[in-house]
Chains A and B, each alone.
Chain A
C-alpha cells in the first residue's frame, strides 16, 4: 500500500470516529464498556432522570469489585453503604439487561482482570470504564482508558464519548532484563524517568524487545500503570503472545470467526516511518527492582539506590518535602533494610496468576516475618482457583500466609482492608498517594518479588538476594 504510514494508535482510533466536531472533540464509538458499583450508580440515575435507555446492553459488562469485602463473601456485606452500591449495580444491570458478575459469581473479580481472562477484551477494540486503570486493556492493542461518571452515562445511552485525539508517544525499551526485574519494575522505572505528569495529553505505545518478549500479564501490568505517568492510556501491538493468550477464552471468537479476526489483528501495528510527537528510549540493563519512597508513582528508585535530595528535584520542592515528611523518610537515605508492617499483593496491576507464582517463588521454604501483616488478594475467582490448583496455596499456608477473596481491597481501601495510619506497606498496587491505602497509610509500590522479599524478612529487601 502506498498510503501514509500510520501508527497502531491511529489505526484503532480512526476506525472508531463517528464524527469529528470542528474545533472540538471526536465522537468516538466504544466497543466494550465495563462498569462497577462505585462509579455507575449516578450514571444510571442520570439516565432515569432524562428518560433514556441503554443503547447496546450487550456491550457493557458489570462486575462488583471496588468496595467488596475480601473475607466471608458468602455473608451479607456488612457496611450498609457498600451493600447499597452493590445492590444498585445489580438492580441497574438487571433492569437494563446488562450481564452482571456480582459477589460469589464464579466470574467475579477486578474489572481489569476479568475482562481479559474471559476473552471480552480483544485487539483493536475501544474500551472504557469508570476507573482510570482501564488502560490495562491496552496490552491487547486496544485503546482503553478511564472515564468519569458523566461519560459512563454517555456510553450507556449512546455507546459514544467525546474526546479530542491525544498526541502520540512511543516508549522503547530494548535489551535484556536482568534477574529479579519484572514488568512492574520496567514501568516504575519509566514513570520515575518521565514523572507522574510526563505523559499527560499523550497516548503511549510501548515498543521494543522488552515488551515483545513480555507475557500478556506483564504487558497488562505495564499498560495498567501508563495512567500513572499522566498518559490517557498505553498500548502494545498484538502478536503471537496476544493471540495465544486469547485463543479458547470464553468470549473469544471461534472457528472461522477466529481466522477472520486474526487477519485483522495482524494489521494492528505501527508502520515503518511513523513519526511520534514524543519518543523515548531506555535500556533494560539499567533497570533494577524498583521501589517508591514518596507519594506519587513517579517517586521511585532502584531498590539499592538512595532517595534523591531536594536539590536534584527540579519541580515541586515543597511537594517533595511534604511527601518525605508524610512518608517519614529523609533525603539521601537508602531504602534497603527499612522495617515494614504490611504487605499487599493484589490489584489489577499485580493480581494475576503470574504475580502469585512470582510471590510464591520467594516465599517457598521460608516463613512470613512476625512483624508483617500480609494481605494476599487474587484479582478474580479464576485466579484464586489457579492459585489452589497450582499448589501456590499450599506454599503460602506453609509459610504462614492466608489467602483472601478477590476484589480491589487495599489498592484503594474502600472496604475494610485499610493500612493503619503511620504504618508502612509494600504494595503491588499502582498508587502511593497520601491516604490511598487508608488515612495516614504509607505505601511503597513494588513488584510481587519485592513484596515477597519484604514479607519474609519484615523489611525492604532486595529480592535478588533471595533468588537462588
Chain B
C-alpha cells in the first residue's frame, strides 16, 4: 500500500481563484534539490507566500488564518507546466488531500493521483459557486465523496458529480498504486517486451 486511502473528505477549503497556476509557482525549481519526498510543504507557493526576506506576504491566502482545510480550490488550468511531482508532494506535505478546479493539466493530474491526492474537476459554474460560498463564509464545508463521485457545498446543499476512471478510483479508495499492479503482471510484461522491436 502506497498512500492513505481516500473515501470521503469533508473539510473547509482554501481558495486560490487564479487561473493557470503552474507548477513553477506551486514549487519553484530552486527547491527541487532534495533527494527525499518529504518537507516540500514549507515551500509550497514559496514566491507568492513569502517576501525575499522570508517574511510572509500578508495578502496571500495561505497566510490568512481565516482559511484552512484539506481542500485547495484553484482556478482553471491548475498545475500546468513542469512535470515535477514535487508540486504534488508539496501540496500533500502542506496538508491538502484534494484539489478542486475546473480544469487540470494532464501531468499534474496523474502525479496527484499517483500519490493519493484527489483532483476533482468541476464545471466553471460550480467552481464559482464554491468560491462564492467560501467568500461568504470562510468556514464553509466542502464534501468530496469519491465512492459517489460527488462534490457538495455543505451549507447550501448544492452538488455536482465528477469524472474519474474506474481503475484510479479503485486505487485511491484502497490506497493501491500502479507499481503494485505492474509488479503483479511482470511476466506478461516481459513476454511482451521480448517481442517488441526496441
Residue A56 at the chain B interface, CB threshold 8 Å:
yes
Bitwise, B16-35 to A at CB < 8 A (1) or not (0) is 01111010110011101111
Q: A41-B35, A42-B37, A131-B83 are in contact. Are A200 and B106 (CB under 8 A)?
A: yes
Query: Chain B residues near A160 (CB, 8 Å)?
Result: 182, 189
B28 and A56 within 8 A (CB): no
B183 and A52 within 8 A (CB): yes
Residue B65 at the chain A interface, CB threshold 8 Å:
no
B25 and A435 within 8 A (CB): yes
Q: Which of A42-88 contact B (CB under 8 A)?
A: 42, 45-46, 50, 52, 55-56, 59, 66-67, 79, 81-82, 84-85, 88
Residue B12 at the chain A interface, CB threshold 8 Å:
no
Q: Which of A283-342 contact B (CB under 8 A)?
A: 296, 315-316, 318-319, 322
Q: What's the tally of chain A residues with a CB closer than 8 Å to chain B?
A: 82
Cβ-defined partner of B24 (8 Å) among A22, A196, A436: A436
Q: A164-B165, A230-B106 are in contact. Are A132 and B83 (CB under 8 A)?
A: yes
Q: What is the CA–CA distance of A125 and B197 in the complex, to the nearest angstrom?
A: 9
B35 and A150 within 8 A (CB): no
Q: What is the CA–CA distance of A132 and B80 in the complex, to the nearest angstrom?
A: 10
Tell me, rounded to whole Å, the shortest Cβ–Cβ distance linking B37 to chain A.
Answer: 5
Which one of B18, B80, B190 has the highest number of Cβ atoms from chain A below 10 Å of its Cβ?
Answer: B80
Q: Which of A390-438 contact B (CB under 8 A)?
A: 412-414, 418, 421, 431, 433-436
Cβ-defined partner of B107 (8 Å) among A67, A146, A196: A146
Secondary structure type dominating chain A contacts: loop
Residue A116 at the chain B interface, CB threshold 8 Å:
no
Query: Chain B residues near A439 (CB, 8 Å)?
Result: 28, 30, 47, 52
Query: Chain B residues near A240 (CB, 8 Å)?
Result: none
B81 and A433 within 8 A (CB): yes
Which one of B83, B85, B181, B186 has the highest number of Cβ atoms from chain A below 10 Å of its Cβ?
Answer: B83
Q: A132-B81, A132-B83, A148-B83 are in contact. Are A81 and B34 (CB under 8 A)?
A: yes
Q: A21-B167, A148-B83, A436-B24 are in contact. Are A32 and B17 (CB under 8 A)?
A: no
Stretch at the interface among A23-31, A95-103, A174-182, A370-378: A23-31
Tell me, rounded to whole Å, the shortest Cβ–Cβ distance linking A68 to chain B.
Answer: 12
B168 and A154 within 8 A (CB): no
Q: What is the CA–CA distance of A56 and B183 in the complex, to the nearest angstrom?
A: 14
Residue B75 at the chain A interface, CB threshold 8 Å:
yes
Tell me, rounded to whole Å, the shortest Cβ–Cβ distance linking A57 to chain B.
Answer: 13
Query: Chain B residues near A157 (CB, 8 Å)?
Result: 179, 182-183
Query: Chain A residues near B114 (CB, 8 Å)?
Result: 148, 150-151
Query: Chain A residues near B84 (CB, 8 Å)?
Result: 38-39, 130, 148
Residue B148 at the chain A interface, CB threshold 8 Å:
no
B81 and A431 within 8 A (CB): yes
Q: What is the CA–CA distance of A431 and B111 in the complex, to the nearest angstrom?
A: 20
Q: A24-B166, A130-B83 are in contact. Are A197 and B105 (CB under 8 A)?
A: yes
Cβ-defined partner of B18 (8 Å) among A46, A150, A318: A318
Tell me, rounded to whole Å, the shortest Cβ–Cβ distance linking B101 to chain A.
Answer: 11
**Given A134-B83, A148-B84, 17 extra CB contacts under 8 A:** A16-B196, A25-B168, A29-B193, A29-B196, A41-B35, A45-B36, A124-B198, A148-B88, A150-B114, A151-B178, A158-B183, A158-B189, A315-B19, A316-B19, A412-B82, A436-B24, A439-B28
Interface pairs (25), CB distance under 8 Å: A15-B196, A23-B166, A24-B168, A29-B193, A67-B32, A79-B33, A84-B33, A88-B35, A150-B85, A157-B179, A157-B183, A158-B183, A158-B189, A161-B178, A162-B178, A162-B182, A197-B76, A197-B103, A316-B76, A322-B18, A421-B52, A431-B82, A433-B25, A435-B28, A435-B47
- 3 smallest beta-carbon distances between A and B, as pairs: A24-B167, A148-B85, A23-B166
Residues of B within 8 A of A (CB): 17-20, 22, 24-25, 28-30, 32-37, 47, 52, 75-77, 80-86, 88, 103, 105-107, 110-111, 114-115, 165-168, 177-179, 181-183, 185-186, 188-190, 192-193, 196-198
